[in-house]
Structure 1
Amino acid sequence: MRSQANDTKEYDMVESLDKLDHKELFNIYKETKDINIRNELVNRHLYIAEILSKKYVNKGIDYDDIYQVASLGLIYAIERFDVDRGFEFSSFATPTIIGEIKKYFRDKGWTIRVPRRIQELSKKVNDVKVKLQQNLQRVPKVKDIADYLSVTQEEVLEAMEASQVYTPKSLDISYDNNGDDKEVQLKDIIGTDDKSYDFIDNRDFLKKCMENLNEAEIKIVDGRFFQNKTQVEVAKNLGVSQMTVSRMEKKIIKKFRKELKKLNEL
């Protein structure tokens, strides 16, 4: 009986809320903070969140995630709205919801994290490119954008390059192969580091270091690091003790580190 009575009471409440306009609901919610009133307000205005969410589709984040953020923004707007000021709720809620969506994109949309200043500049650069193209009737140059935003051309280029990591391309994306029937995938045309360059750099570095070693030190380096001999074996070939080879080896490594430090400081 109690359950039936509660259900009847809840039904009567829902029915009574349906008869109130949204201004009356806002006034009641302002006084009572009744969660049922807020839910009714949310349900009546979810269409705003839906419309605004659709404007951000295909920008790198799933629609469901955007809609969820927009709905949260709608709740924030309901909490802060004051009907006595005479504004329409839709006019008040729109910038609040858009602000939440943009903040979500700013914080979550970048696949690779970049500094906040570059994220913000990247957004300005994209907006200004469209505006200048309309005003100049041509594609704006980097200098045009830099002058308009009062920043350096290097900063504009940095922002434009950073924007490429916002929605990176899949390695499986395909391209036409100069008219051939067979398509080429991005992963097949991306260059790789040539290890030969590292080999050449390392060889030149070692050659320079070896020029500063005496004959005994050169034999130790050759025996220990090129022939993989033990310290005992190298000591026997040089006619010295294993301890002597150990001390000389540490001295040689110290020389190499000193040369490497000089190279890094260039």
Structure 2
Amino acid sequence: MESTVKKIDEGTINIHSLKQYNEKELFEIYNQTKDKTIRNELVNRYLYIAQILSKKYINKGIEYEDLYQIASLGLIFAIERFDITKGFEFSSFATPTIIGEIKKYFRDKGWAIRVPRRIQELSKKISNTRNVLTQELQRTPKVIDIAEYLGCTEEQVLEAMDASQVYTPKSLDISYDNSGDDKDVQLKDLIGENDKYFDILENKDFIKESMKKLNELEVKIIKYRFFENKTQSQAAKLLDVSQMTISRMEKKVIDKFKKELNKMEE
């Protein structure tokens, strides 16, 4: 192993030279050098784990691209923390680390409207309790059944059940049967609204003025993402940058918009 580390220290490290080493050797080298080129090679070799775990959580309210990005970050965290001397397989160590990052992202970002953490956690417990009690009672459990099982009040159960509705909000295009009429009524037709023309004019003026303060790249990102509804991945390909760059620039632009909005409200 000494000769391997010596070769790395001599500055001969590159992606092609790393192909000759197996994963165990790369981890040993990385633990001693912390060279990002080695880390990137390890990420590429184990990226399939992030892909597999991301796909397990699709169709749960968050886009696959976002899940894959979070899983990839989890993979990097796992590589940084992995100790080859412990004798564990990296895949066994990385899997719970990546899943933990994905679940954390769901917990913090998956709700359409922010609700207190205690209610989010109680909502999850209620969902699991329903399944357990349905089997035990051979019927749909009542609120009082769930409350007694979890050791909380009925009010707390009702509060969490009500809040859980914002996790996956209903589409405004959902239709309801309109008795006595051949045409169904959509949810958006039942909701009151402000004067849309006033809002449109006000928003267009705000966006127009705010866009003047953006650079050329930021303007293109806003155009692709919010006017042409392209995904971060599609925008990245068009601009020949990484998806991470698009995500970072997008947050930067939104922060600029927020500052401009705050100035208007002052």
TM-score interval w.r.t. the shorter chain?
0.5 to 0.7
Number of residues paired by the alignment?
184
Q: How does 1:118-129 map to 2 (within 5 A)?
A: 118-129=119-130
> How far apart, in 2, do the equivalents of 1:25 and 1:180 lie?
70
1:82 is the counterpart of 2:106:
no
Structure-2 change in CA distance of 1:181 and 1:107 (3 Å): same
Deviation at 1:147, TM superposition (A): 2.2
Q: Which residue of 2 aligns with 1:117?
A: 118
Q: Which stretch of the first structure deviates more once superposed, 162-171 or 127-136?
A: 127-136
Q: Which residue of 1 aligns with 2:161?
A: 160
1:57 is the counterpart of 2:58:
yes
Q: How does 1:60-71 map to 2 (within 5 A)?
A: 60-71=61-72
- With normalisation by structure 1, the TM-score equals 0.62
> How far apart, in 1, do the equivalents of 2:98 and 2:112 lie?
23
> How far apart, in 2, do the equivalents of 1:115 and 1:19 lie?
51
Deviation at 1:35, TM superposition (A): 0.6
- With normalisation by structure 2, the TM-score equals 0.62
> How far apart, in 2, do the equivalents of 1:144 and 1:49 lie?
39
Structure-2 change in CA distance of 1:24 and 1:126 (3 Å): same
Q: Which amino acid aligns with 1:32?
A: T
Deviation at 1:11, TM superposition (A): 9.9
Q: How does 1:182-221 map to 2 (within 5 A)?
A: 182-189=183-190
Q: Which amino acid aligns with 1:188?
A: D
1:43 is the counterpart of 2:49:
no
Q: Which residue of 1 aligns with 2:21?
A: 20
1:134 is the counterpart of 2:135:
yes
1:149 is the counterpart of 2:168:
no
> How far apart, in 1, do the equivalents of 2:78 and 2:50 lie?
11
Q: Which amino acid aligns with 1:18?
A: K
> How far apart, in 1, do the equivalents of 2:24 and 2:175 lie?
55
Structure-2 change in CA distance of 1:139 and 1:89 (3 Å): farther
Deviation at 1:23, TM superposition (A): 1.5
Q: Which amino acid aligns with 2:187?
A: L
Q: Superposition RMSD on alpha carbons, in Å?
A: 2.6
Q: How does 1:225-240 map to 2 (within 5 A)?
A: none
Deviation at 1:191, TM superposition (A): 8.4
> How far apart, in 2, do the equivalents of 1:145 and 1:73 lie?
35
Structure 2: state its 5+ residue gaps: 1-9, 194-266
Q: Which residue of 2 aligns with 1:32?
A: 33
Deviation at 1:160, TM superposition (A): 0.7
Counterpart of 1:28 in 2: which secondary structure?
Answer: helix
> How far apart, in 1, do the equivalents of 2:11 and 2:129 lie?
53
Structure-2 change in CA distance of 1:140 and 1:87 (3 Å): farther
Q: Which amino acid aligns with 1:52?
A: L
Q: Which residue of 1 aligns with 2:244?
A: none
Structure 1: state its 5+ residue gaps: 1-8, 193-266
Deviation at 1:151, TM superposition (A): 1.4
Deviation at 1:78, TM superposition (A): 0.7
Structure-2 change in CA distance of 1:12 and 1:74 (3 Å): closer
Q: Which amino acid aligns with 2:149?
A: Y
Deviation at 1:177, TM superposition (A): 4.5
Structure-2 change in CA distance of 1:38 and 1:148 (3 Å): same
- Could you give the per-residue CA deviations for residues 140-167 of structure 1, whole angstroms, max 9, x where no partner exists? 2222322222211211111111000112
- Could you give the per-residue CA deviations for residues 70-101 of structure 1, whole angstroms, max 9, x where no partner exists? 11111011100112112221221111111111
> How far apart, in 1, do the equivalents of 2:45 and 2:180 lie?
55
Q: Which amino acid aligns with 1:183?
A: D
